[in-house]
Structure 1
C-alpha cells in the first residue's frame, strides 16, 4: 500500500515544514517527478512513511520549481534524487563513507534500508548529534563521483 507524500514547490512551504516539524525527524527528498530514480525512491519512501510516521515526516521537494532554488543551491543538489534530513530545524548529516555527508544521494535498495537510516539518524539527533554514522553495510550505500566545477 502506498502512502501519500506531500510535494513542496514553494520556498515558504519548505521553510514552514523545516521550522514547524518539532520533536519529529524531517526527511526531504529533492528530485523530479519525471526522473526514474526519483520515482523509485518515492515508491520506497511512500511504502515506509507509515512505518516511520510516529517519529518522522517525509516530504518531496520539486527541484525544478524556481521558488525552491535557494535550497537546491544551499544543499548543492546537483545529483538527484538527494535526501536531506532535519531534526528540530537543524540539518542532520550522515557519515556513510561517501564524499558527501550532507545528504543521501540516489535511492535506497529497499524499504528497510530507509527505515534503518531514519531510525539511526533520529536516535543520534535525539542525543544531540548533528552527524550520525550510517547503519547500512557498505554494499548497500550508493557509490558516486562528485564533479566540481571550475577546479
Structure 2
C-alpha cells in the first residue's frame, strides 16, 4: 500500500513537508514497511486518502533511517507505528485519555476512526487549538503501557 504515499527517509524531507504543508493536516506515520501493524495502519490510511485529500496529507516516515533518528528521539518514538499530526508547521496534540498526547500509537480499528481523528485535528486547528480531544470512544483507542526511560 505504500505506493500511494511519499516515504520520507531524510530529516530534510521531513522538515520540508512539515514546513510546506499549509492549511491541511499533515499526518506522519513513523514505522517500517515490514511491520504487520504498520501494514494494517497503512491499509487504513490508503482507504481514507481520497476522502481526506481536501484537508489532509499523509506521508510515511522510515523509522530505521539513520537520518530520521533526530525525530525519533524528539518525539520519543519507542512503539510503532506512531502517528504524529501537524497543522501549518505546528505539532497538533490529541488527548485520547492516554499518558501520551503527542502521538497516536498503533493502528486505527477502521477507516472511519482515522477519518474522525483527522477531522477533529483539522477542526481544532482551524479554531487555533494545539490540542484536541479524541472523538473516538475509549474502547477504540489502543492502550499501551508506556515505559519512561531514566525515571
How would you bin the TM-score normalised by the shorter chain? Answer: over 0.9
Would you identify which runs of 4 or more consecutive aligned residues in structure 1 move more than 3 Å? none
Compute the RMSD of aligned alpha carbons: 1.3
**Aligned counterparts of 2:103 and 2:2: Cα–Cα separation in 1:** 24
Stretches of structure 1 lacking an aligned partner (at least 5 in a row): none
Q: Which residue of 2 aligns with 1:46?
A: 46
TM-score, normalised relative to structure 2? 0.97
SS in 2 for 1:39: helix
Partner of 1:31: 31
Matched position secondary structure for 1:61: strand
What count of residue pairs does the alignment treat as equivalent? 151
Question: Does the aligned pair in 2 maintain the 1:2–1:47 contact within 8 Å?
Answer: no
Tell me the distance in 1 between the aligned counterparts of 2:54 and 2:3. Answer: 14
Unpaired stretches in structure 2, ≥5 consecutive residues = none
Q: Cα distance, 1:6 vs. partner?
A: 0.9
CA positional deviation for 1:150: 2.8
With normalisation by structure 1, the TM-score equals: 0.97
CA distance in 2 between counterparts of 1:22 and 1:149 reads: 35
Secondary structure, counterpart of 1:121 in structure 2: helix
